[in-house]
Every structure is written in structure tokens, then in C-alpha cells.
């Protein structure tokens, strides 16, 4: 425990001081906020995709629920965007319950495919839904009416809001990891059949993890909408949103507490650099880069980067006669 406490304290201190260390550069402050925001989404995904091994590729639905709820509340009822966030969380949990009951029965790749299908369906639905701005999307308040609008020119306030939310999510995840639910989720990931034979109500636990993951992903969506002040079908419910969460978690270490954060620390700066180098022309290339990363993870890092340090590295080729693993 002590061996882990020191690096943790140092990282925590560094995270708190980071905006001051780069106080001269608005670009780096913004980058820090973006890393944390991505880490929030990927950590939320990690609960169902990493710990329970149910690889959702449709979390954009929940992200979109949070993002749209925040800005629709403003556009339709002139509420501060943050007021819509709880509604987005509730909607996301409800959607998760509705699609989780039939789809979580599916195993492995079939679950992943079902989640993609649902997410694409929702994206098309939102694109044709005028109340939510249709294909044009909706904007938040152009200038802050009150401080409640959480509209700042500097990225530093966002940085600290995101840091607090990420800390809360990691704390929740850590508590789950140490509890019966955490053990059960890992057991379900390894062998659902064996888990059920030992009294694990696999269907129920997967659903709980899915709903919790969905609610927290909606928080990430709402925070995104608050910071950027604009959401459209692609940035709210596009498949890239889902894929990014998955890749970040898998790169850092799916099913590990700090895995998604490590993934975000690597991928978000990479993405910002490639965007600034390629400008607007790089949109299609992003998919190519993500595809390449997926190949590298699957081949060389099936347990993620963090596993290299925790000694939980799995051989790239698993011996035969074990159940197929669904991670990444």
C-alpha cells in the first residue's frame, strides 16, 4: 500500500499544480483540461468495458445524452447548461437499462456489434430531430449570463472542475474494485459460466455496471458541451466518441483503475498535435491512426501499457483451451 501511495501523492500534487506550471501557455492549459475530460469518459467506459469485459462501442449514446441535455436545457428553456446535466445522466441510465436488458445477454463480439448498431441508430435519430437542432446542432450561451453558465475564456476553471470529477469517478471505481461487485465483474469477464455456477447473478451485475457506466459517461458529455458550448450529431453521438473511449482505456489498461487516464495522457496530446499539423484535412486520417493503434494494442499490449508495470502482463498469444477473451 505504501509503495503505491507515494507515486499517487506525487501524481496528485502534479495534477493540482499543472495549470500553474504552464501558466504562460493557454494551449497547454487547454490540453490539460482536454486530457482530463477524455479520461473521465474513458474511466466511465472502463467500468463495463474494462472490469466487466463487455466491450461497448456505443457509449457515444450516453455521451450524447449528457451533452444534448445540457445544451437543450439552455436552447429550449434558457437554463444554465449544468442544470441539464442531471437530466442527461438520468436519460443515459434509462437508455442503458432499455438496451442493456436485451443486448447484455449477447456474448463477446455480438454485444459490441449491437451497441454500434444502437449508437448509429440514435445518431441518425438525433440528426433528424429538430428539437435537438437536427444536423446543425445546438449552441450554448455565447457569453456567460451568470457564473452558473460555467462559460470561461480560460481553460483553468474547466481543468479544476474536470480534475474534481475525474477524482470522484476514480474513487467510485476504486471502491467497486475492492468490493464484491468488483470481484464479480472480473469473474464475469473471465468466465461467465463459472461465475454463475458460484452464485454470481451475472445478468444483474452486468446491467448495474452498464447503467453506472452510462450515467458517468453522460457526465463527461455534459462537461464537454459546457466547455465547448456546441454540440452536433457527430461530436455528440458519432462513432469516434465511442471508439476513443475504448482505445484510451485499452491502451492504458482496460480493467485497471488508472488505465484510461494513462491512455488519455498519451492519445489526447497525440491527437492535438496531428490536428494542428494536418489542419482540417486530417479528419479522415484520424480513423487510420486509431485503426493502427487498435492493431498495435491487440498484437503487443492486450492488457495495456500499465500492465507492463503492475506485472499483470498477459502473453500476447494465450494458450489454447481457455475461453476466448473479449478485451480489446
Write out the three cell numbers for 19.
495549470
Residue 104 near residue 207, CB atoms below 8 Å: yes
Please tell me the distance from the alpha carbon of residue 279 to that of residue 310, in angstroms, as a whole number: 38
Does 5 interact with another protein (rule: CB under 8 A)? no
Among 135, 283, 312, 316, binds another protein (CB under 8 A): 312
Q: Is the dihedral of CA 77, 161, 152, 140 positive or negative?
A: negative
- Residue that the C-alpha cell 438496451 belongs to: 99
Please tell me the distance from the alpha carbon of residue 65 to that of residue 83, in angstroms, as a whole number: 13
Give the range of 69-77, 118-126, 133-141, 189-197 binding another protein by CB under 8 A.
Answer: 189-197
Among 105, 109, 145, 180, binds another protein (CB under 8 A): 180
Does 322 interact with another protein (rule: CB under 8 A)? yes
Closer to another protein by CB, 299 or 312: give it: 312
**CB of 201: closest distance to another protein in angstroms?**
5
Give the range of 66-74, 75-83, 264-272, 317-325 binding another protein by CB under 8 A.
Answer: 317-325
Closer to another protein by CB, 139 or 325: give it: 325
Residue 60 near residue 242, CB atoms below 8 Å: yes
Closer to another protein by CB, 188 or 268: give it: 188
Among 194, 270, 295, 308, binds another protein (CB under 8 A): 194
**CB of 179: closest distance to another protein in angstroms?**
6
Does 326 interact with another protein (rule: CB under 8 A)? no
Does 105 interact with another protein (rule: CB under 8 A)? no
Does 186 interact with another protein (rule: CB under 8 A)? yes
Cβ-based burial of 193 (10 A; exposed 0-12, middle 13-18, buried ≥19): exposed
Does 153 interact with another protein (rule: CB under 8 A)? no
Give the range of 87-95, 146-154, 184-192, 279-287 binding another protein by CB under 8 A.
Answer: 184-192
Element (H, E) at 133: none
User: What phi and psi values does residue 139 have, to the nearest 5 degrees?
Assistant: -110, 160
Closest-CA residue to 148 (of 85, 102, 81): 81
Please tell me the distance from the alpha carbon of residue 116 to that of residue 103, in angstroms, as a whole number: 11
Strand pairing class (138-139; 230-231): antiparallel
Give residues in contact with another protein (CB under 8 A): 178-180, 183-184, 186-187, 189-191, 193-202, 312, 314, 321-323
Amino acid at each position: 500500500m505504501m509503495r503505491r501511495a507515494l507515486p499517487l501523492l506525487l501524481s496528485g500534487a502534479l495534477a493540482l499544480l499543472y495549470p500553474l506550471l504552464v501558466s504562460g501557455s493557454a494551449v497547454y492549459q487547454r490540453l490539460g483540461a482536454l486530457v482530463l475530460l477524455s479520461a473521465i469518459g474513458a474511466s466511465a467506459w472502463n467500468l463495463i468495458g474494462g472490469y466487466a469485459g463487455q466491450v461497448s462501442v456505443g457509449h457515444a449514446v450516453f455521451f450524447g445524452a449528457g451533452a444534448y441535455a445540457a445544451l437543450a436545457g439552455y436552447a429550449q428553456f434558457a437554463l444554465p447548461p449544468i442544470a441539464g446535466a442531471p437530466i442527461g445522466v438520468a436519460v443515459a441510465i434509462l437508455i442503458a437499462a432499455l438496451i442493456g436488458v436485451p443486448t447484455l445477454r449477447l456474448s463477446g463480439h455480438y454485444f459490441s456489434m449491437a451497441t454500434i448498431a444502437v449508437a448509429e441508430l440514435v445518431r441518425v435519430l438525433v440528426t433528424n430531430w429538430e428539437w435537438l437542432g437536427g444536423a446543425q446542432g445546438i449552441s450554448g450561451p455565447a457569453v456567460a449570463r451568470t457564473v452558473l453558465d460555467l462559460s470561461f475564456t480560460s481553460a483553468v476553471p474547466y481543468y479544476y472542475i474536470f480534475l474534481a470529477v475525474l477524482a470522484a469517478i476514480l474513487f467510485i471505481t476504486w471502491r467497486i474494485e475492492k468490493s464484491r461487485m468488483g470481484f464479480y465483474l472480473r469473474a464475469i469477464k473471465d468466465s461467465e459460466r463459472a461465475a454463475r455456477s458460484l452464485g454470481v447473478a451475472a445478468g444483474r451485475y452486468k446491467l448495474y455496471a452498464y447503467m453506472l457506466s452510462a450515467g458517468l459517461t453522460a457526465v463527461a458529455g455534459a462537461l464537454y458541451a459546457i466547455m465547448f458550448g456546441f454540440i452536433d450529431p457527430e461530436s455528440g453521438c458519432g462513432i469516434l466518441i465511442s471508439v476513443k473511449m475504448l482505445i484510451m482505456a485499452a491502451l492504458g489498461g482496460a480493467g485497471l483503475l488508472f488505465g484510461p487516464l494513462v491512455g488519455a495522457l498519451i492519445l489526447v496530446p497525440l491527437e492535438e498535435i496531428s490536428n494542428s499539423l494536418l489542419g482540417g484535412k486530417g479528419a479522415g486520417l484520424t480513423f487510420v491512426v486509431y485503426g493502427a493503434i487498435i492493431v498495435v494494442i491487440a498484437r503487443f499490449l492486450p492488457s495495456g501499457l500499465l500492465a507492463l508495470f503492475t506485472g499483470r502482463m498477459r502473453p500476447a498469444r494465450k494458450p489454447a483451451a481457455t475461453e476466448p477473451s473479449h478485451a480489446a
